Amino acid sequence: MVAESEDVSWQSTLQEFGRPLQEITFVVIDLETTGGAPHLGAGITEIGAVKVRTGEVLGEFKTFIDPEHPVPAYITDLTGITDEMVFQSPTIAEIFPSLLEFLGSHAETVLVAQNAPFDLSFLTYAARAHGFDWPKFPVLDTAIIARKVLSRDEVPNCKLGTLAQFFGTETTPNHRALDDARATVDVFHGLLERLGSHDIYTLEELNNFGKKVKKKQKSAE
């Protein structure tokens, strides 16, 4: 689910980044929340993140978050997360310093997420609300990359479950943060292999590749 966000400051241009994709530290992140938009009162209930470099997992981050309001029944039905599971968990304000430490410097880390605007809207909103500076990480969205490199004959849509099945991920997405982050890691690595077949090896090339795809689509219309 992608929610509209009032703040798009998390979006970093990739034009100035020419670093090889294989030499970058990526943090793949996923959130579970109590609703679709932080500015409408929804909060974070779970954070899962996986740090990877050259295909190797360097570390994982997992925590429940107390959203400080009840978890709606439909969210419990979707995720399995209950009030009892998040009760007495740290609040987002309490967990933010350790999360930022795990994420690392924006000069070294590139964030990866499936439908990134959704997750980043919650994180940047929480940062502003609690007085934290949100680093201007470069961000890659696996859903957007998939639309560029996979045809509709290969996948009918670019939902995480569809992409996970296509790439045969070790972990099945289940609307739990760490499992979804792990599945996204495998999807991302599969997409990187596809990008290699297009001679895309740096963030700069990936950005330019996206522009070329748009031009081809327009010319075909």
Per-residue burial over 94-103, b if 16 or more Cβ lie within 10 Å, else e, is ebbeebbebb
CA torsion 14→19→20→26, rounded to 10°? Answer: -70
For helices 203-220 and 142-149, angle between their N-to-C axes, nearest 10 degrees:
50
* Residue ranges covered by each domain of the chain: 25-216
Residue 217 in tokens:
């689509």
The residue behind tokens 């439909």 is 74
5 pLDDT band (50/70/90 cuts)? very low
Per the structure block, which two tokens stand in for 8? Answer: 């798009």
Concerning whether 198 is annotated as a catalytic residue, the answer is: no
**What mean pLDDT is predicted for residues 192-210?**
86
Q: What is the pLDDT of residues 77-127, one digit of tens each?
A: 999 999 999 999 999 999 999 999 999 999 999 999 999 999 999 999 999
In this structure, how many other beta carbons lie within 10 angstroms of the beta carbon of residue 147? 16
Catalytically annotated residue among 39, 106, 175, 198: 175
As a whole number, mean pLDDT of residues 31-50 equals: 98
CB atoms within 10 A of CB 211: 9
Q: Which CATH class is domain 25-216?
A: alpha beta
pTM of the full structure: 0.88
Tokens matching residue 143:
């859903």
> Which of 43, 27, 58 is CA-nearest to residue 90?
43
Residue 89 corresponds to which amino acid? S
| 81 closest CA partner among 93, 66, 92 | 66
pLDDT at 204: 85
Q: Strands (DSSP E) along 54-151, which ranges?
A: 56-64, 109-113, 139-141
Report whether pLDDT(215) > 90: no
42-73 per-position pLDDT tens digit: 999 999 999 999 999 999 999 999 999 999 99
